[in-house]
Homo-oligomer: A and B are copies of this chain.
Amino acid sequence: MRTRRQATLASLAAELGVSRTTVSNAYNRPDQLSPELRRRVLETARKLGYPGPDPVARSLRTRKAGAVGLLLTEALSYAFRDPAALGVLEGLALACEDAGVGVQLVPASPGKDNIDAVHRAGVDGFVVYSVPDDDPHLEAVLQRPVPTVIIDQPVVADVDRVGPDDKAAMASLADHLIELGHRDIGVLCMRLSRERRNGFVSRERQEKASYHVQRARLAALAEAFEAVGVDWSTVPVVERFEHTIEDGASAARQLLDAHPHVTALVCTSDILALGALKEAQRRRLQVPADLTITGFDGVPEGERADLTTVRQPVREKGRCAGKLLLDPNRRVGSAAVTPEVITLETELRIGRTSAPPRTAEQRWFGP
């Protein structure tokens, strides 16, 4: 038993002396045949060990796979550690569950450019999350004649897009810091390109970052601080390829070692900020008295630390993408009627990790 498929619709039909159509109907349209015959069909099926219509053959005919693909260019395993990615996944799963379709995690390891996986995925659509703009996987997805929704990416013609306005969101956070009086800041950011790099980042690299989100957030910061007279080229920005608390801590250390005078550490993610907090603690710096630290995303761990951050509805991103993909009214064939660009609300959350910088006097003599 449990060997190579033995029975098919045809063999069942032959055994019963009815047409394939009738057998098919027994499974898919019970109202199209007499209950008695249907019962016989199903019984014979059980007897012959026929497991019901083959899903792949059915998909070929109906042009429906019953699943959507999720592409994120990270080791899949990583996705399960980053709370933000997890939120997206959860939201997407939620939307898909409602519609009764599966979510297929498409393997797209950043190392080997295994484009093939994208070509081989039998899915009705793709959600693309957080991949670099120049990622070949993304290109491969766009090639496929199925609807696609991209999250946190720059808008592509004819493709739905979901995400917050990263630039505006970061601008509001920048304003908060500026209002507090910070002028001497440092920045911790995530990976800016596909190649592994860590350390200080030139302005050019910031502007050429292939991750839209990082680019937007850095640009917003630069713009806001330049507007109050800060020379952005003097602002230290440290990049980390990996996105973990430990990397955040090491980035903070690298930055503070070289620029001990900064009064605020702006991080482009909560994870990095949590790492920065750790490093501050190691240095016995009081947060926020000695050092302001801010994050981005609004993940639960950050919440617990009462981090000043920008909350974005991560779960909603995924859910929204799923809904967009699955809404049957929105599509004719596989083309979106009108490609939608949905901008999600963000919220500046002021926690206990931001405060005015100490004045020079305070620095020397304490508060």
> Is A75's CB within 8 Å of the partner chain B?
yes
Cβ proximity bits A141-169 to B, threshold 8 Å, 1 near / 0 not: 00111010000000000100000000000
> Is A105's CB within 8 Å of the partner chain B?
yes
> Is A51's CB within 8 Å of the partner chain B?
yes
In this complex, the member of A58, A103, A109 whose beta carbon has the largest number of chain B beta carbons within 10 angstroms is: A103
How close is A55's CB to chain B, nearest CB, in angstroms? 5
How close is A279's CB to chain B, nearest CB, in angstroms? 19
Question: CA A79 – CA B144 in complex, angstroms?
Answer: 30
How close is A136's CB to chain B, nearest CB, in angstroms? 14
B89 & A96 in contact (Cβ 8 Å cutoff): no
B102 & A117 in contact (Cβ 8 Å cutoff): yes
B119 & A67 in contact (Cβ 8 Å cutoff): no
A100 & B107 in contact (Cβ 8 Å cutoff): yes
> Is A77's CB within 8 Å of the partner chain B?
yes
Known: A80-B93, A105-B93, A122-B67. A335 touches B2 (CB 8 A): yes
Question: CA A93 – CA B60 in complex, angstroms?
Answer: 26
A66 & B335 in contact (Cβ 8 Å cutoff): no
B76 & A93 in contact (Cβ 8 Å cutoff): yes
Known: A56-B122, A66-B121, A80-B90. A3 touches B103 (CB 8 A): no
B56 & A117 in contact (Cβ 8 Å cutoff): no
> Is A104's CB within 8 Å of the partner chain B?
yes
**Residues of A in contact with B, size category:** 35 or more
A67 & B143 in contact (Cβ 8 Å cutoff): no
Question: CA A57 – CA B76 in complex, angstroms?
Answer: 27
> Is A120's CB within 8 Å of the partner chain B?
yes
> Is A5's CB within 8 Å of the partner chain B?
yes
How close is A142's CB to chain B, nearest CB, in angstroms? 8
How close is A88's CB to chain B, nearest CB, in angstroms? 10
Cβ proximity bits A83-125 to B, threshold 8 Å, 1 near / 0 not: 0001001100110110011111111010000101101111000
Question: CA A122 – CA B123 in complex, angstroms?
Answer: 9
A101 & B107 in contact (Cβ 8 Å cutoff): yes
B66 & A120 in contact (Cβ 8 Å cutoff): yes
Known: A3-B335, A4-B145, A51-B143. A100 touches B80 (CB 8 A): no
Residues of B within 8 A of A17 (CB): none
Question: CA A76 – CA B93 in complex, angstroms?
Answer: 6
> Is A260's CB within 8 Å of the partner chain B?
no
Residues of B within 8 A of A145 (CB): 2-6, 51
Residues of B within 8 A of A114 (CB): 100
B1 & A121 in contact (Cβ 8 Å cutoff): no
Cβ proximity bits A1-44 to B, threshold 8 Å, 1 near / 0 not: 11111100000000000000000000000000000000000000
Q: Which residue of B lies closest to A58 (CB)?
A: B120
Q: Can you list 24 A-B pairs with a CB-CB distance of less than 8 A?
A: A1-B158, A3-B333, A3-B334, A51-B145, A55-B121, A55-B122, A56-B59, A56-B65, A58-B120, A60-B60, A76-B93, A76-B103, A77-B93, A77-B97, A79-B93, A93-B105, A100-B117, A101-B117, A102-B104, A102-B105, A102-B106, A103-B104, A103-B105, A104-B104
Task: Write the residues of chain A forming the contact surface with B, with a CB cutoff of 8 angstroms.
Answer: 1-6, 51-60, 63, 65-67, 69, 75-77, 79-81, 86, 89-90, 93-94, 96-97, 100-107, 109, 114, 116-117, 119-122, 143-145, 147, 158, 333-335
Q: What are the 10 A-B residue pairs with the smallest beta carbon separation, nearest first?
A: A76-B93, A4-B333, A80-B90, A104-B104, A66-B120, A103-B105, A97-B107, A55-B122, A56-B122, A56-B59
